[in-house]
Amino acid sequence: MSKALVAYFSVSGITARLAERLASAIGADLHEIQPAQKYTAEDLDWTNKKSRSSVEMNDKSFRPAIADKVENMDQYDVIYLGFPIWWYVAPTIINTFLEAYNLEGKKIIPFATSGSSGMGRTNVELEDSCKGADLMDSKRFHADAGIDELKAWAEQF
């Protein structure tokens, strides 16, 4: 049996709660991807083209620093990777996280929360950051997705 990790990035707590439910449902370890510099409300103002998140998302090469790394990433075969959808893709901090590890032979399974937008080009934007890994199809969940729904989804991998 493979060892699984649920790694997630969450600013508002919505993705965090979903990730916690998923980890509980499948018996996986849990890791929060934290930015080295926390996001403020002003940073997240998507209507301001000069806000931090707008600048980051408009420059696909931008890699926000992360505060800590997963110890012993080698022990995980499967990584469920959670995040909110920003501009129809994963926030670039997710690329930072993926590029920090040797992912050779691992299965990466993205999942996201969003008010209304779908996954867009998420997998296309993550593909280069997952060298050597098997990047699976991503899925968007409602914030209130239940344990049974999460477990049924995860069991297909």
- What tokens were used for 51? 């806000």
C-alpha distances in angstroms, 38 versus 35, 65, 68, 96, 132?
6, 10, 13, 15, 30
- List Cβ neighbours of 94 (8 Å cut-off, separation of 6 or more): 9, 33, 81, 83, 110, 126, 129
**What is the reported pLDDT for 115?**
80
CB-based contact 114:140 (threshold 8 Å): yes
The CATH code of the domain that includes 58 is: 3.40.50.360
Tell me: the pLDDT tens digits for 5-20?
A: 999 999 999 999 999 9
Range of the domain at 20: 4-155
Number of domains the chain contains: 1
- List Cβ neighbours of 68 (8 Å cut-off, separation of 6 or more): 34
Tell me: the pLDDT tens digits for 30-67?
A: 999 999 999 998 988 888 999 988 888 888 899 999 99
pTM greater than the 0.85 cutoff: yes
